[in-house]
Structure 1
Amino acid sequence: MKKHIPIKKFSQNFLVDLSVIKKIIKFINPQLNEILVEIGPGLAAITRPICDLIDHLIVIEIDKILLDRLKQFSFYSKLTVYHQDALAFDYIKLFNKKNKLVRIFGNLPYHVSTSLILHLFKRINIIKDMNFMLQKEVAERLIATPGSKLYGRLSIISQYYCNIKVLLHVSSKCFKPVPKVESIFLNLTPYTDYFPYFTYNVNVLSYITNLAFQKRRKILRHSLGKIFSEKVFIKLNINPKLRPENISILQYCQLSNYMIENNIHQEHVCI
């Protein structure tokens, strides 16, 4: 098979380490009759062993050359192939057609990973779980806790929706071409029975966190001063002199709910 030349604009780094691939398959643990969607099958490093275990897999790939390569594999008959951007794929239509929660996995390129994850959160009610290979910095932002320099809006929104587990640290040497950074494979499972956080409207939570972290070096009294008075912060037991990265997800939810309960005007902001 002709060697594929990675396309720079798609940030293509292909997983080639067989031991890592085996571990990933074990973590995903695909089952018959599940609705599995792979974003970016690439050179089929994960696609092939997944297809050895199930009868059907949906793949989304933006690179036409890579899709043409898939046709040369014996497992191609098990695939339903979509040549499009994963951000444009209709996940809700898929759910409605199959009437089953969707499992999504893939090795996500750096330039789309954050926007894609936020995009999928808008469809969280139709997702069973997500298993993604991410560049280390993105993964660490997802799991960051208050007080960390990496803690921010992405951490808050991600942890609001999902229980996140780091499954595997992956060396850059496990990819070709070798990227400049390390990677982390993690699982995001949406909360269903137990919800650790609550807000009446996640768009308001998104608005507040976006406003706060736009000026993350400023204290809350300044970054969120146009919405909340110092008295409100004190009433909610939140120190107005703290910076945004020192406020917990629960406290941001408290601010969000106070805003809604008191009909405080806000711009319409979606995650």
Structure 2
Amino acid sequence: MIIKHSQRHIPLKRYGQNFLVNKNTIQDIVKIINPNIKQILVEIGPGLGALTKSMCQFLEKLIVIEVDPNLLLLLKKRSFYSKLIVFCQDALRFNFIDLFHKKNQLIRIFGNLPYNISTSLIILLFKQIQVIQDMNFMLQKEVAERLISIPGNKSYGRLSIISQYYCNIKILLNVIPEDFRPIPKVHSVFINLTPHTNSPYFVHDINILSYITKNAFQNRRKILRHSLKNFFSKKELLQLEINPNLRAENISIFQYCQLSNYLYKKLNTTLKTN
């Protein structure tokens, strides 16, 4: 069943607006999220409110972040608007840590993310991961595949490593283009990202891990002893039991964490001796 979208709003390309309109898909998503009245839920990009309306049936209050003021004017006319706490701003500038301190409770975040900001937004949310219970997002299928990719795959890269370092990630629903208006040229998936409670990975400094992976994958066709030559000698790579002749996509997350921690100690030793 398709929900008719408002003819009064023309979707804007600059905001990446593709509105979910399939009622069955919306119901499936609500079941997946399984909202609880006692939880703090935040929707990024409520759009025309199709998913928002269904979620509000299970909540006293729902926080929504919407950058487009024209959409907020349409939302004001909806019957469920009284349940909304509205922030008219760019989600990339929203401070979830402040919200956590106000509510003193972990936050659940969900939404049909605009494709043009999805990767940047997820990376931003990782930086505030300590206040997040979980995240449930509609994403372009290609982005989701990068999030869950494992070593040896073409889609495996920096985003795979950083995402899996922070979260357990599951694809929960495949969504066809016809479930949206306007119909996008790409397929979508609905995914869950839940922060690790007992992480299998550890680094002393996430910035070093980010920096190493950036250099490795910027030159992904090069072997490690060339792409990471500014950080590690061939001897050091062998010492860490990492084959210096492998390429970036062949190295596991655990091995990248090893490299990060080795470099962290190396840098700190250098600082102490100087």
TM interval, shorter chain, is over 0.9
Out of 59, 68, 80, the residue aligned to residue 63 of structure 1 is 68
Tell me the CA shift for residue 167 of structure 1.
0.5
Out of 234, 238, 241, the residue aligned to residue 237 of structure 1 is 241
Deviations 1:59-91 (A, max 9, x none): 000011100001001111110001000011111
Task: State the match for 2:44 in structure 1.
Answer: 39
2:119 maps to amino acid: T
Out of 20, 29, 32, the residue aligned to residue 25 of structure 2 is 20
Task: State the match for 2:186 in structure 1.
Answer: 181
- SS of structure 2 residue aligned to 1:111: coil
Distance 2:210 2:22 in 1: 38
Q: 5+ residue gaps in structure 1?
A: 267-271
Q: 5+ residue gaps in structure 2?
A: 1-5
Tell me the CA shift for residue 54 of structure 1.
0.7
- For the pair 1:259 / 2:256, whether they are aligned, the reply is no
Tell me the CA shift for residue 142 of structure 1.
0.3
Distance 2:187 2:40 in 1: 30
- SS of structure 1 residue aligned to 2:86: strand
Deviations 1:86-108 (A, max 9, x none): 01111111000000000000001
Distance 1:2 1:223 in 2: 52
Task: State the match for 2:211 in structure 1.
Answer: 207
The structure-2 alpha-carbon separation of the partners of 1:265 and 1:210, relative to structure 1 and needing over 3 Å to count, comes to farther
- For the pair 1:143 / 2:148, whether they are aligned, the reply is yes
Distance 2:177 2:91 in 1: 24
2:84 maps to amino acid: L
Root-mean-square deviation (CA, aligned residues, Å) is 1.2
2:215 maps to amino acid: L
2:50 maps to amino acid: A
Out of 120, 126, 131, the residue aligned to residue 136 of structure 2 is 131
Deviations 1:132-164 (A, max 9, x none): 000011100000100011100000000000000
- SS of structure 2 residue aligned to 1:262: helix
- For the pair 1:49 / 2:57, whether they are aligned, the reply is no
Task: State the match for 1:269 in structure 2.
Answer: none
- For the pair 1:198 / 2:206, whether they are aligned, the reply is no
Identity of aligned residues (%): 62
Deviations 1:174-210 (A, max 9, x none): 1111000000100000012x11111111111001001
1:222 maps to amino acid: H
Tell me the CA shift for residue 260 of structure 1.
1.0
Are the aligned partners of 1:227 and 1:264 in contact in 2 as well (CA < 8 Å)? no
- SS of structure 1 residue aligned to 2:117: helix
Tell me the CA shift for residue 3 of structure 1.
3.0
Distance 1:17 1:96 in 2: 36
Task: State the match for 2:12 in structure 1.
Answer: 7
1:129 maps to amino acid: D
Distance 1:136 1:29 in 2: 23
